[in-house]
């Protein structure tokens, strides 16, 4: 190297510089503390303040926990024990021990049968594993996941085993009908399409006609006392007239659409399968299950829905509604993107309506109003009604999250799928949804967690979930009157455990699905 080098522009590297570790003062715990806790005067003050607040918090709460009484008959008993010990403060955790069964199962579920929901919960973990950890659990275990709803239903509600079995068989039979119609010769299928189209068209027209009559009836019973009720009455009348005008064209339109689709066959197949399912469930399931049960009775003590309660009720509602609202949300999101104006319109109206209404009003509708719309003799299970309402509510939100995921996909993905000759179903299932759902995971989980916590709202319509149990039978009993902290803390804790697990799972799943730069 000569001096000339320093001044000339030309330069050629002759030796590689070997990699070396960073200087020792730039690593280790001291450096971490200097960087993260005391990086400047202002940050050092903040750190000290934070430490002071954490100290005050712990110092204040710790004695309350530490002095906690776990063994007492009532709140007075508990306070006596605390006074005896000379403790200034102390928690009465005894309420959790004393009322553990109530908090978990409600106050009406038969005590001898507690093992059933407990077993159902344990089985839930096994049923969820193949779906949640699909990469690590063999696919054949998904069969158990598919059977789990029937097992859990039987365990929790009891009654004859043959009823859930008959429903399972009906669903499998529907699958067979679907396959059969799919494989039919085009000529036979067009005959079938004509029949199914006719029945569906007439059925729809009849339903719309009944609906129109119902709306007219409501509009008359609203009254005309004020401007508001007159307006409501007018709106109901307008909707009614609209339906009166359109019930026949709608029936013809839908019937013809089914008939016209005979060659492609998708619509005929789906509608025929739905008809078959309806016929099976409405006319075959009950008598068949009853008949078999008369010969070979396998029964658990039946527990009616109104006897469900405690955290079990929150779990039932949470698990069922989350697992139903995800597929429904996907269908709604795809429907909203559809080119077919009718399908798109239905989805948009549904989503926008549900999102514009508070969940609590929907629950009141489920509790009170639905009974007005049903024929007098129908006995529509309350839990089922609540499940329908919460599922509708959360599926509308999930649909919007998934729509965001669909919109985030580059147009090129659709084009590449098209250019390879994949049809709509294949492209959606194999290319679009896996990517859109992956993008939507944080949003979906957000809604699932929110939904699970919102199941406590059913306490407002006098169902005794964990919050309902606390507000009612526990706080208002003479033994545990005016106990707050311990029970609500416990309720928060059980919800936190589940919600935090869901959130951790979703983050793990996101890492699993990363496909760039390993």
Partner 1 sequence: MNQQTQMQVSDEVAIEIRNMNKWYGTFHVLRDIDLTVMRGERIVICGPSGSGKSTLIRCINALEEHQKGSINVDGTLLSSDLKNIDKIRSEVGMCFQHFNLFPHLTILENCTLAPIWVRKTPKKEAEETAMHFLEKVKIPEQADKYPGQLSGGQQQRVAIARSLCMRPRIMLFDEPTSALDPEMIKEVLDTMIELAEEGMTMLCVTHEMGFARQVANRVIFMDAGQIVEQNEPEEFFNNPKSDRTKLFLSQILGH
> Among the candidate windows 120-128, 380-388, 419-427, 440-448, which touches partner 1 by CB under 8 A?
419-427
Q: Determine phi and psi for 88, rounding to 5 degrees.
A: -70, -50
**CB contact set of 359 (below 8 Å; sequence gap of 6+):** 389, 390, 393, 454, 457
Q: Work out whether 343 is an interface residue with partner 1 (CB under 8 A).
A: no
Tokens 């100290």 sit at which residue?
55
Q: Work out whether 515 is an interface residue with partner 1 (CB under 8 A).
A: yes
Count of residues engaged in binding partner 1, rule: CB under 8 A: 23
Instruction: Indicate which single residue of 67, 435, 446, 477 sits in contact with partner 1 (rule: CB under 8 A).
Output: 435
The span from the CA of 237 to the CA of 381, in Å, is 31
Pairing of strands 299-300, 159-160: antiparallel
Q: Work out whether 266 is an interface residue with partner 1 (CB under 8 A).
A: no
Q: Work out whether 339 is an interface residue with partner 1 (CB under 8 A).
A: no
The span from the CA of 236 to the CA of 49, in Å, is 62
Instruction: Indicate which single residue of 356, 421, 478, 493 sits in contact with partner 1 (rule: CB under 8 A).
Output: 421
Q: Work out whether 438 is an interface residue with partner 1 (CB under 8 A).
A: yes
Q: Determine phi and psi for 299, rounding to 5 degrees.
A: -135, 145
Closest CB to partner 1 among 114 and 414? 414
> Least separation, in Å, of the C-beta of 398 and partner 1?
20
Closest CB to partner 1 among 80 and 415? 415
**What stretch of H or E contains 98?**
helix 94-98
Q: How far is CA 356 from the centre of its chain?
A: 19
Here's the x/- map for partner 1, 459-498, by CB under 8 A: it reads as ----------------------------------------
- Provide the token pair at 466: 């964990």
Please state, in angstroms and as integers, the Cα–Cα distance from residue 322 to each residue in 316, 319, 456, following that order. 10, 5, 15
Instruction: Indicate which single residue of 52, 238, 418, 504 sits in contact with partner 1 (rule: CB under 8 A).
Output: 418
Closest CB to partner 1 among 231 and 430? 430
- Provide the token pair at 424: 């709509």
Strand partners, 334: none
Q: Which of 485, 491, 484, 483 is nearest to 74 (CA)?
A: 483
Closest CB to partner 1 among 80 and 418? 418
Task: Return the biggest CA–CA distance within the chain.
Answer: 107
Instruction: Indicate which single residue of 287, 290, 358, 434 sits in contact with partner 1 (rule: CB under 8 A).
Output: 434
Closest CB to partner 1 among 230 and 416? 416
Per this entry, what is the length of the chain?
518
> Least separation, in Å, of the C-beta of 415 and partner 1?
6
Closest CB to partner 1 among 323 and 413? 413
Q: Work out whether 139 is an interface residue with partner 1 (CB under 8 A).
A: no
- Provide the token pair at 274: 């739905």
Q: Work out whether 298 is an interface residue with partner 1 (CB under 8 A).
A: no
Footprint of partner 1 (CB under 8 A): 410, 412-413, 415-423, 426, 430-431, 434-435, 438, 513, 515-518
């Amino acid at each position: 190297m000569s001096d000339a080098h320093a001044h000339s522009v030309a330069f050629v590297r002759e030796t590689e510089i070997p990699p070396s570790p960073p200087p020792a003062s730039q690593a280790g715990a001291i450096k971490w503390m200097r960087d993260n806790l005391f990086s400047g005067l202002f940050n050092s003050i903040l750190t000290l303040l934070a430490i002071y607040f954490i100290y005050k918090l712990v110092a204040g709460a710790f004695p309350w926990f530490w002095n906690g009484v776990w063994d007492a008959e009532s709140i007075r008993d508990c306070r006596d024990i605390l006074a005896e010990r000379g403790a200034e403060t102390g928690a009465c955790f005894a309420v959790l021990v004393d009322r553990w069964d109530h908090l978990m199962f409600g106050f009406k579920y038969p005590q001898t049968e507690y093992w059933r929901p407990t077993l159902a919960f344990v089985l839930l973990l096994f049923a969820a594993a193949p779906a949640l950890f699909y990469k690590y659990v063999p696919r054949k275990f998904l069969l158990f996941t598919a059977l789990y709803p029937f097992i859990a239903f039987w365990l929790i509600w009891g009654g004859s085993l043959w009823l859930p079995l008959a429903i399972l068989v009906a669903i499998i039979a529907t699958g067979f009908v679907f396959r059969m119609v799919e494989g039919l010769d085009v000529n036979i299928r067009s005959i079938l399409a004509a029949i199914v189209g006719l029945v569906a068209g007439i059925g729809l027209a009849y339903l719309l006609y009944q609906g129109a009559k119902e709306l007219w009836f409501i509009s008359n019973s609203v009254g005309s006392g004020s401007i508001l009720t007159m307006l409501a009455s007018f709106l109901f009348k307008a909707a009614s007239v609209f339906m009166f005008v359109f019930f026949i064209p709608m029936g013809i339109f839908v019937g013809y659409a089914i008939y016209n689709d005979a060659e492609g066959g998708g619509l005929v197949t789906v509608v025929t399968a739905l008809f078959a399912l309806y016929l099976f469930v409405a006319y075959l399931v009950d008598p068949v299950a009853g008949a078999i049960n008369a010969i070979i009775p396998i029964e658990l003590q039946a527990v009616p829905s109104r006897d469900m309660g405690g955290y079990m009720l929150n779990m039932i509602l949470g698990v069922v509604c989350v697992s139903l609202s995800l597929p429904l949300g996907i269908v709604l999101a795809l429907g909203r993107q559809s080119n077919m104006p009718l399908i798109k319109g239905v989805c948009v109206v549904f989503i926008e309506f549900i999102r514009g209404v508070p969940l609590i009003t929907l629950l009141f509708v489920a509790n009170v109003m639905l009974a007005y719309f049903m024929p007098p003799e129908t006995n529509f299970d309350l839990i089922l009604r609540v499940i329908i309402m919460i599922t509708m509510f959360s599926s509308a939100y999930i649909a919007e999250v998934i729509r965001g995921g669909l919109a985030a996909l580059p147009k090129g993905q659709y084009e590449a799928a098209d250019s390879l000759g994949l049809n709509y179903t294949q492209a959606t299932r194999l290319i679009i949804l896996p990517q859109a759902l992956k993008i939507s995971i944080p949003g979906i989980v957000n809604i699932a967690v929110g939904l699970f916590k919102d199941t406590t709202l059913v306490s407002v319509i006098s169902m005794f979930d964990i919050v309902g149990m606390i507000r009612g039978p526990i706080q208002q009993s003479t033994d545990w009157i005016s106990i707050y902290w311990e029970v609500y803390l416990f309720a928060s804790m059980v919800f936190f455990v589940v919600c935090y697990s869901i959130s951790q799972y979703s983050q793990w799943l996101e890492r699993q699905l990363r496909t760039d730069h390993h």
